[in-house]
Amino acid sequence: MQRYFSAVQRAVLSLIFGPVLLAAQAKVPADSVRHKRDSLETVVIRAVRGTLAAPAAQTTVTRADIAKSFAGQDAPLYLNSTPSVTTYSEAGGFSGYSYLRLRGVDQTHLNITVDGVPLNDPEDQVLYFSNVPDFLNSIHSVQIQRGVGSSTFGTTSYAGSLNFQSIPLATTPRGGMLDFTGGSFNTARASAQYSTGILDGGWAGYARISKQHTDGYRRHSGNDAQSAFVSGGWFGAADALKFTGMAGVSGTREAYYGSSEAELATDRRTNELTDHEGDRFHQEMASLQYTHAASDNVHVSTTAYRNSAAGAYDVDFGDGTVGNYFLAHVWYGLLSTVDIRAGDLSVAFGAHVSNYHREHALAMRPNLTDRAYTNVGFKQEQSAFGKLALDRGAFRFSADLQIRRAAFRYQPSVNAGITGFETSWTFINPKIGMTWRGAGQVAPLTIFASVGSTKREPARNDLFAGADDIDKSTAASVLPLSQVKPEQLTDVEVGATWAIKTFSVTANLFDMEFRNEIAAIGALSLTGSPLRKNVDRSYRRGIELEGEWHPSPRWKASANLTIMTANISTFHDDRANISYRDVEPLLTPPVISSQSVEYTISNQWSILFNGKFVDRAHLANDGNTSLTTPSYFMADGGLAWRRGATEIRAQVYNVLNSNAYSSGYASGGVRYFYPIATRNFLISTRIAF
């Protein structure tokens, strides 16, 4: 620990605690600082979301949106209808290991936070949503920023970010909800939640518990999971203290390999992994946040958090032996924000320090106490950002600067025959932008433009080329760690929104220029992780369109469309020793579109239709048009009945019974796919009290 405790860390800690001590010492008249309790609770949310940062392409999914169609599915699958998003599930749907891609860029390049607390595992730079089942059930809203976006905490907001806000204690009224879901593939879910509202003395609490099961669409790809979410706090005239905790455990039957076309032609539910290959992990997160209103226009918030996870998964080596891979991490962090508003000027500062370590081990079944190796990865981070927004008439000028340092150290197994090694990176990530707001009520128009640059360090899997352990025989191929370069993105966004009472439309042009992008190569490691490597130059350019129409109180229609072109200037296939020029990066469809229509039949009945089109996407970075995923269109429908405090909702997925594949890869000229479940249904009953 001492060797990493540098001057940079001391400076960041000074920034964290200095404003808090000054605010605590300030003498502020009570009558002038009685802010709304929700303002005290959302200081960090305001700091990391796009309100104070350079203008960005963004979409916010509200609690009301979630309530219309959420049935317990993993968060990536639920967010599938948002602009420029594609998703896939190893099991074929609902839950298990599921992933999201934004503008064709994989989930490891997205920053994920809840109430400002980072959730991306520092080594893998991804959150496995399967570890926190029913997560969206306790979420008030999620803002999806596309492109560089605004500075936040944790791993760099590189291709975008998912900023989750949990159920707010201060504004949620007293009451509870029971939720039951059942349907195809032996899927069942039950959850209960309750909120106290603000009690005498300013106390408030919220809690949820959930349990779910599914057999999965693909054979032996099911999941048994439980989760809990709890928060409690005290809200005073100028101070708030809030605790948030969540925990989940998931037992999954594995399906991380796709199936070949020949296998799928015989049985669409086929899965080469077997019942004796299991996966069981638990994950916990706890945070304590203190917020102080130094005045009507100055808020200071500091959050301490702890995140931990542990579990193991099996891999059949095909020679009669089954390896059991064990992982366990502990992660501590401290973050602070200062939010200042003075007339036309808004300023936000943030700082973050964290310390993480994860143990990796392998044992052979059935003797799990005799380990083949045990190694440990250590990751530390320090970062700080400043955001400024200045209003001048119809214009808002924005600037955002982040300084971030990350350091990784590897402690090999005692029998590895090598000594430990380490590396570190320091990044400066600037963004600027401008917004113009038109006057008038008939056709208000908003136009924004922004440019930003951000850099990101490689994940452990990238540094080690997919290996879980480094020893004397493999060290030469991965050392020095500088062989894998940090990647850099320069992102230009220009957008406009035109809105009237019943209609709105948004258009956004983007140009994402990458240097040394750590791009997927279309192959998997032994344990199913996608392998990636640096490519010198690449880009993604396109237009995103969003529209919403309310012709009457009963009707609502919305749609989004992304048209994108993507290119890798030169890709070298190391296995074949062949270079390809000007090829399309894999799993980046040129056209993505979603549609939604809602109709309220009466006070009791309503229907909902969702459609999704995804164009073909390459499975390898070689330009081979025969190695692509087929384009597909999916349609889902729902019928809801409400009476009093009870709602019953029936949802049918893949109504047209499309033979579709959400993702895949190529090996030896053969296409392997992850199939989407054929027509299936879920029925949910929700009872409020």
pLDDT tens for each residue of 375-416:
999 999 999 999 999 999 999 999 999 999 999 999 999 999
Question: Do the beta carbons of residue 15 and residue 349 sit within 8 Å?
Answer: yes
Instruction: Return the pLDDT at 9.
Output: 45
Band (51; pLDDT cuts 50, 70, 90)? low
Residue type at 336 in one-letter notation: S
Residue 135 DSSP SS3 = helix
Phi, psi angle pair for 131, to nearest 5°: -75, -15
User: Model's pTM, two decimal places?
Assistant: 0.92
Question: Do the beta carbons of residue 211 and residue 179 sit within 8 Å?
Answer: no
Average pLDDT over residues 97-106: 95
Band (318; pLDDT cuts 50, 70, 90)? confident
Gap between the Cα atoms of 193 and 243, Å rounded: 17
Asked if pLDDT for residue 31 goes beyond 80, the answer is no
Gap between the Cα atoms of 235 and 169, Å rounded: 9
Number of C-beta neighbours around residue 415 at 10 A: 11
Q: How many residues does the chain have?
A: 689
Sign of CA dihedral 195, 198, 200, 205: positive
Gap between the Cα atoms of 549 and 637, Å rounded: 19
Band (529; pLDDT cuts 50, 70, 90)? confident
Taking Cα atoms as reference points, which of 427, 294, 329, 351 lies closest to residue 116? 351
Q: What is the pLDDT of residues 570-591, one digit of tens each?
A: 999 988 899 999 999 999 999 9
| Beta-sheet pairing, 110-114 with 160-166 | parallel
Instruction: Return the pLDDT at 48.
Output: 82
Asked if pLDDT for residue 197 goes beyond 70, the answer is yes
Give the DSSP letter string of 405-427. EEEEEEE--TTSSS--EEEEEEE
Asked if pLDDT for residue 215 goes beyond 60, the answer is yes
3-state secondary structure labels for all residues of 459-517:
CHHHHCCCCCCCCCCCHHHHCCHHHCCCEEEEEEEEEEEEECCCEEEEEEEEEEEEEEE
Per the DSSP assignment, residues forming a β-bridge with 503 are: 549
Q: How far is CA 634 from CA 100, 119, 215, 664, in A?
A: 17, 31, 22, 17
Taking Cα atoms as reference points, which of 650, 653, 680, 685 lies closest to residue 185? 680
Taking Cα atoms as reference points, which of 138, 145, 57, 56 lies closest to residue 431? 56
Average pLDDT over residues 426-441: 88
Instruction: Return the pLDDT at 275.
Output: 76
Phi, psi angle pair for 80, to nearest 5°: -60, -25
Query: Is the backbone peptide bond immediately before 480 cis, with ω within 30 degrees of 0?
Result: yes
Band (257; pLDDT cuts 50, 70, 90)? very high
Asked if pLDDT for residue 52 goes beyond 70, the answer is no
Q: What is the pLDDT of residues 586-599, one digit of tens each?
A: 999 999 999 999 99
Asked if pLDDT for residue 432 goes beyond 70, the answer is yes
Band (12; pLDDT cuts 50, 70, 90)? very low
Residue type at 572 in one-letter notation: H
Within 8 A by CB and 6+ apart from 72, the residues are 94, 95, 133, 134, 137, 179, 181, 189, 191, 210, 212
Over the Cα atoms of the chain, what is R_g? 25
Catalogue all structural domains in the chain, each as residue range(s) with its CATH number. Answer: 2-688 (2.40.170.20)
Instruction: Return the pLDDT at 10.
Output: 44
Query: Is the backbone peptide bond immediately before 551 cis, with ω within 30 degrees of 0?
Result: no
Q: How far is CA 488 from CA 171, 433, 453, in A?
A: 40, 19, 7
Question: Do the beta carbons of residue 415 and residue 399 sit within 8 Å?
Answer: no
Taking Cα atoms as reference points, which of 255, 253, 235, 354 lies closest to residue 303? 354
**Residues 442-461 as b or e (16 or more Cβ within 10 Å = b):** eeeebbbbbbbbbbbbbbbb
Q: Which two tokens stand for residue 146?
A: 């596309």
Q: What is the pLDDT of residues 467-496, one digit of tens each?
A: 999 999 999 999 999 999 999 999 999 999
Question: Do the beta carbons of residue 350 and residue 48 sit within 8 Å?
Answer: yes
Q: What is the pLDDT of residues 137-183, one digit of tens each?
A: 999 999 999 999 889 999 998 999 999 999 999 999 999 999 999 99
